Structure 1
Amino acid sequence: MTARVFRNEDLVRVPWKNDGGTTAEVAAFPEGSTFETFGWRISMADVASDGPFSLFPGIDRTLILVEGDGIELDVEGIAYPLDKATPKLSFSGDDITIGRLLSGPIRDLNVMTRRGQFRHRARFIESGVALLSDDTIVAFLVPLDGPFDVTLDSTIHSLQALDALMLEATQELVLLSGTGRAILVEISPDPST
């Protein structure tokens, strides 16, 4: 199984689409694609102030709080708090969304897939064994609370908190050893195409 590690400290920060903050792209498909042309995109953002989110028409999004006390997302007039108890929200990039910090800056993991091309799922996992869904074409594992070792085909990939491991789809078991939680993001073709 092919795997690639993206170290958190090596990520390059770029301005948000609306210039209201910065994001660090972990990976996107196709490689080198822009905000207008990506099929899927995984990134981390540092949010230091309240403000509107960029619109991404035709994009499905999931935002996961990975550091900080939390943020309230106002999506089309409905408030959704993202905090340690409920750290994940999926919503449409078409929706007018405003973020309000609950208590100081946060960092979030942002997953985006272009509707009609790809879809995604994100779930929390712990030490043990993970099996990717049958339709997964690429997956990302991001430790949240501390180091994780991921064993793939007898190769151990050692990850620190907020590093990301990209792996190609496989029916094989993925062995996980570490403390705390990690996020597993799976990307698959959109079945409506």
Structure 2
Amino acid sequence: MQILRAANYKVMPWKNGLGSTTEIAIFPANAKLDDFDWRVSMAQVTSDGPFSSFPGIDRTLLVIDGAGIDLNVHGSASVRIDRSTIHSFPGDQQTSATLIDGSITDLNVMSRRGIVSQHVRRINVMKRQDFIVSAQAFLFVEHGTATVRSASTVDSLSAHDALLVEQGSAPVAIESDATAHVVIIEFGR
């Protein structure tokens, strides 16, 4: 189990140079944008425009702050992504977005097609929830604070902090006194 703190994330330019992204985690740890198995990042989107192309990559996008975007992926109908939507699409298709009402912050999950699969979901943690990790898992706190517990660790996560849990790890519990909004990402092989 590895705690990832928002204050330590790496900010870097978008692949297309039109903005910046905050890299939360990448696997393997020394990978670059052209050879990762999976990557989780967060971006502030302040204007309409094209997405970077990522050949061979499957993407999942969530809006974590702001009204949302209309996503246009070549060959597909436009999709509105707001705070209640999780949308997956191929990263190698021409893609652009139009802001609905002002800037947004998104969470972007990417995995290499044919190597790693991804399953992304949101939960509201109001009490204690236990997780048995059957794949490599990533937990991201969208809003609120949560306490995570394993056999050997108890730690607090604030908004935008994350937890990386390796496959086969001991069960992990997440709890919150108030409602914490958490994104759970499972990466399979």
Give the TM-score normalised by the residue count of structure 2.
0.91
Gaps of 5+ in 1: none
Provide, for residues 72-111 of structure 1, a one-character-per-residue CA deviation record: whole Å limited to 9, x for no partner: 111115211111232x110101211101111111111111
**Amino-acid identity (%):** 40
Give the CA deviation at 1:174.
2.2
Q: Aligned partners of 1:58 and 1:51: how far apart in 2?
A: 21
Partner AA of 1:50 in structure 2: D
Q: Aligned partners of 1:116 and 1:12: how far apart in 2?
A: 27
Question: SS at the partner of 2:36?
Answer: coil
Q: Aligned partners of 1:37 and 1:171: how far apart in 2?
A: 26
Matched-pair contact (CA < 8 Å) for 2:11–2:22: yes
Other-structure match for 1:182 = 182
For the aligned residues, what is the CA RMSD?
1.5
Superposition pairs of residues 84-163 of structure 1, within 5 angstroms: 84-86=83-85, 88-127=86-125, 128-132=128-132, 134=134, 136=135, 138-163=136-161
The count of residues paired between Structure 1 and Structure 2 equals 184
In the TM superposition, structure 1's runs of 4+ consecutive aligned residues that sit over 4 Å from their partners are none
Partner AA of 2:32 in structure 1: T
Other-structure match for 1:64 = 62
Matched-pair contact (CA < 8 Å) for 2:69–2:80: yes
1:44 pairs with one of 42, 47, 54: 42
Residues 89 and 130 (structure 1), Cα distance of their counterparts in 2 relative to 1, 3 Å cut: farther
Residues 114 and 146 (structure 1), Cα distance of their counterparts in 2 relative to 1, 3 Å cut: same
Q: Aligned partners of 1:132 and 1:49: how far apart in 2?
A: 40
Partner AA of 1:78 in structure 2: A
Gaps of 5+ in 2: none
**43-52 or 150-159: which moved more?**
150-159
Other-structure match for 1:33 = 31
Give the TM-score normalised by the residue count of structure 1.
0.89
